[in-house]
Structure 1
Amino acid sequence: MARKTLRGTVFWGVDALKGKTIKQHYQHIKQIMESNTSNNKQLQSICSHACNTVPFYKSFKSSNFNDLPVVTKNHYKEMYPSFQSEIHLNNVYHQMSTSGSTGTPFTVNQDKAKRERTMAEVIYFNEIEGQTLGQKYMYFKAWPEKRTKLEKLKQNLVPVDVLRLDEDALESIRDTLKKDKQINSCLAYASSYEILSNYIYNKGDTPDMYNLNVIFSSSSLLKEETREKLEKIFGCPIIDRYSNQENGILAQTKSNDQVFKVNRASYYIELLSLDSDEPAKPGELGRIVVTDLYNHAMPIIRYDTGDLAISDDLDRQNISTLRSIQGRRIDMVYDTQGNVLTPHTISVHMKKYKQLKQWQFIQEDKTYYILKVNGAEGIYMKDDFVDSFKKILGEDALVEVKYVNEIPVLSSGKFKNTICNYKIPEKIR
């Protein structure tokens, strides 16, 4: 049972005075996630709502889910007003903006119930892995503004700005985690953990020096070597969380398990083929397409996130698990013959270079690639990288290796290990 905190008690007390709306969402999420029931009634409800109140969907004769089109960020950007519910135009309670790390940022309007649903799912998914509402945590992100002492005290938060993770900052984080035994968990992008784990691991630290109960990783693929280092340093469960700004927590792994359990309570997730809108087969890499069951202000229906994953579920109409979430399709690179190589493929290939601090692989043209490596000079030879990559790219690959002292993160705080600047011709796809 989750340990109660004073902050948690106050939070639920305030919610009770407001009608227990967040508590009701929390209990509903818990009921669905811990049973075999579905939320298909809500799926039909959100589709009907969209077709009756949203200009874009009014043109469709049927509100049947399968008759509605798959949409992307570009659709939302190009026809933004058409995706807003007419009955919620003056009832926008909250706005969430994507980082634009893919070059296509946009803002999603949310009504009050959607915002409360999102808060409830964060509480639930934190709690099932050991982070109780109100417990102190360290949060790594690109902070637009410095948190005041009152804000940090109120939220029981230790903010860390990932735009500055130099040696001084890393040592400060390490020192804080050692001294402040009240810090129960950490939440960060996978790329931030890679930098942090490399730094602390080389210091020889062991779990008895820390007091963390759980580590949550989000946004991008958590490399296996990073996971292993975090476990050796902190000795606590490492939880992978698949989430985005547009929607919320879409899926999460459990302790000692790398299979993602889909948040079926709040979202309906499809895996579609890379080349069509037909369902991907079990075990086949597919596009993650999300329907948000609770945002009535701006219904997000059959939204192609640009992310890729595999599911072994036989029931393709009710996907409940995902594995091998491999990052965005636009981050995939290609060998010299036009065959796709996912970010996961490159990550596994780079695993043997254990002493690297950072690396980034960029495809500039059909046969021209750049590999940036931080921490390689004097340890690994450039020819070793070139010869190694030619085995997976093709002997005609031109691989330029650059030794660098730092590979900066994006303005969002995210970091891309693979970048594809080459637009592969359609006939090769």
Structure 2
Amino acid sequence: MDINALFLRKKFWFYDFIFGSPIGKPYKEIEYISEHSCIEGQVIREQKLKDILNFAIKNCPFYYTVKSDNLSDFPIMNKSKYIDSYNQIRVPEDKINHQNGTVHIQRTSGSTGTPFAVPQDTMKRQRRIAELKYFGRIVGFNTHEKLIHLRAWNKWQEKTTKQIKSENIIPFDISELSDDKLEELRKLIIESNAICLRGYASSFDIIAKYVIEHPIEHSSLKICIAGSEALHDDVRALVKKYLNCEIISQYANEECGILAQERIPTKESDNVMYFNNAGYYFEFLKMDSDEPAEFGELCRIVITDFHNHAFPIIRYDNGDVGIISKPDEFSNGYPVLQKLYGRRLDVCYTTDNIPLSPMVIGRILKHYEDISQWQFIQKSQNEYILKVIMRNEKSAVDYLQSPIGILKKHLGQSAIISIEQVNDIPVLNSGKRKSVINEWKK
């Protein structure tokens, strides 16, 4: 047992109780809605939806003309529309301070080229903390256990010494992952007795491949939480084998918080995600219209946040697409996220203009062990580039003739796939390493 983690956890919840349970109350509500049937949670969710819609109508000039608390009467928004209408949506602080505390500005990374600063009131920030604690617990990570957070840390996000000590979180910068940096991380995992690694899915790919040749013989790791990018099957397998712990995928964004997450145990062939229905109302709309999509159909995921009273997020199409399935035995009557493909820019299309899952590319290339890293880019309807970093002096052009042939079976025989052997695949401003990019359908 980690005595320090237990002490910090008890201390946190004690002070939370003393100050009126600002984290404990939303935590219990998240737990109740998530673990009971959708029928039992329906009254709470419907009231939350009605409250945020009415609040927006009364306090945001942008919504003054909406004369209904019916969600379908509100416009569908995206990041650009929010930026253009920022001052008409942002709620004056004097209208929220008496109830929801001070306002914090949450900035997105702008990895798709559009940075976004979202005001969040104190109660929304507390809700996000409660989400982190609940969704960590259900996959085996208890709050205040030792966690190494892998991300591109900078002066705006860096943690103070006091935060590191009180939260038991070690920030580790992965802006660049040279062998020296990977060795530093390997030693940190061993020496810190960390229970959890949290970071980008692509980072786990690089880390696991390094650990193949530089094993971690003894580790306290129980869980890796991968976010921001699609978690490919080969990365999942590598982490389980060489880091000797479970790994789950978490769907979240900076603007809102945790939107969905896998659970443990999961089926190897069917790693579905379960939505955070306690925090958000989700709509699943067709790719080419605002009509509801069918189960099994590629769709846009549109989000309404129940809790942000500083800047209401209503019907937010943040660019993520996926496939939704009927409720399963664990979802308590709610639909489940069968596949998350990430941004529309991350979905490639065949030469016949049919969406192709990024997972298809990963499942082909994972069988070619001399590939260290890869990136697949669609340039036009039938032109593609496969960038690869090789582990040795082999010629990528010669080595990849077989997988190129397999890729053409999925993309179409008229596909023109160019191979570029490179020394580096740069990270985005966010620190993410995107494996699939669509430059054609922007």
Using the size of structure 1 for normalisation, the TM-score is: 0.91
Q: Does 1:378 align with 2:389?
A: no
- Choose the corresponding residue for 1:336, options 351, 366, 372: 351
Matched ranges for 1:264-413 at <5 A:
264-313=277-326, 319-375=334-390, 377-378=393-394, 381-413=399-431
Q: Take 2:47 and 2:189, find their aligned partners in 1: how far apart are those partners?
A: 45
Match of 1:111 in 2: 121
Q: How far does residue 343 in structure 1 lie from its aligned partner after superposition?
A: 2.2
Does the CA-based 8 Å contact 2:233-2:362 persist in structure 1? no
- Choose the corresponding residue for 2:178, options 142, 147, 166: 166
Match of 1:31 in 2: 32
Q: How far does residue 314 in structure 1 lie from its aligned partner after superposition?
A: 6.3
3-state SS of paired residue (1:406): coil
One-letter amino acid matched to 1:411: N
3-state SS of paired residue (2:251): strand
Q: How far does residue 105 in structure 1 lie from its aligned partner after superposition?
A: 1.5
One-letter amino acid matched to 1:174: R
Seen in structure 2, the aligned counterparts of structure 1 residues 342 and 89 have a Cα distance that, compared at 3 Å, is farther
Seen in structure 2, the aligned counterparts of structure 1 residues 117 and 321 have a Cα distance that, compared at 3 Å, is same
Is 284-293 or 230-239 further displaced after alignment?
230-239
Does the CA-based 8 Å contact 1:264-1:320 persist in structure 2? no
Offset from partner CA, 1:312-354 (integer Å, 9 cap, x none): 1269xx8442121111112222233333323233333333324
Does the CA-based 8 Å contact 1:268-1:290 persist in structure 2? yes
Q: Does 1:193 align with 2:207?
A: no
One-letter amino acid matched to 1:348: R
- Choose the corresponding residue for 1:77, options 83, 88, 111: 83
One-letter amino acid matched to 1:255: I
Q: Take 2:327 and 2:403, find their aligned partners in 1: how far apart are those partners?
A: 40
Seen in structure 2, the aligned counterparts of structure 1 residues 314 and 281 have a Cα distance that, compared at 3 Å, is farther
Unaligned stretches of 5+ in structure 1?
Answer: 425-429
Does the CA-based 8 Å contact 1:141-1:162 persist in structure 2? yes
Q: Take 1:133 and 1:248, find their aligned partners in 2: how far apart are those partners?
A: 17
Q: Does 1:243 align with 2:243?
A: no
Q: Take 1:323 and 1:387, find their aligned partners in 2: how far apart are those partners?
A: 28
Does the CA-based 8 Å contact 2:285-2:302 persist in structure 1? yes
Is 136-145 or 152-161 further displaced after alignment?
152-161
Q: Take 2:160 and 2:325, find their aligned partners in 1: how far apart are those partners?
A: 46
Q: How far does residue 127 in structure 1 lie from its aligned partner after superposition?
A: 1.6
Q: Take 1:308 and 1:370, find their aligned partners in 2: how far apart are those partners?
A: 23
Q: How far does residue 278 in structure 1 lie from its aligned partner after superposition?
A: 1.2
3-state SS of paired residue (1:19): coil
Q: Does 1:120 align with 2:135?
A: no
3-state SS of paired residue (2:427): coil
Q: Take 1:89 and 1:365, find their aligned partners in 2: how far apart are those partners?
A: 49
Q: How far does residue 23 in structure 1 lie from its aligned partner after superposition?
A: 1.1
Q: Does 1:68 align with 2:74?
A: yes
Seen in structure 2, the aligned counterparts of structure 1 residues 261 and 395 have a Cα distance that, compared at 3 Å, is closer
- Choose the corresponding residue for 1:53, options 59, 76, 99: 59
Q: Take 2:26 and 2:36, find their aligned partners in 1: how far apart are those partners?
A: 16
Q: Take 1:324 and 1:295, find their aligned partners in 2: how far apart are those partners?
A: 27
One-letter amino acid matched to 2:169: L
Identity percentage of aligned residues: 37
Match of 1:427 in 2: none
3-state SS of paired residue (2:374): strand
Match of 2:189 in 1: 177
Match of 2:236 in 1: 227
Q: How far does residue 227 in structure 1 lie from its aligned partner after superposition?
A: 0.5
The count of corresponding residues between Structure 1 and Structure 2 is 419
Using the size of structure 2 for normalisation, the TM-score is: 0.89
3-state SS of paired residue (1:16): helix
Does the CA-based 8 Å contact 1:53-1:87 persist in structure 2? no
Q: Cα RMSD between the aligned structures?
A: 2.3
Seen in structure 2, the aligned counterparts of structure 1 residues 89 and 201 have a Cα distance that, compared at 3 Å, is farther
Q: Take 2:368 and 2:212, find their aligned partners in 1: how far apart are those partners?
A: 15
Seen in structure 2, the aligned counterparts of structure 1 residues 379 and 401 have a Cα distance that, compared at 3 Å, is closer
Q: Take 2:94 and 2:174, find their aligned partners in 1: how far apart are those partners?
A: 36
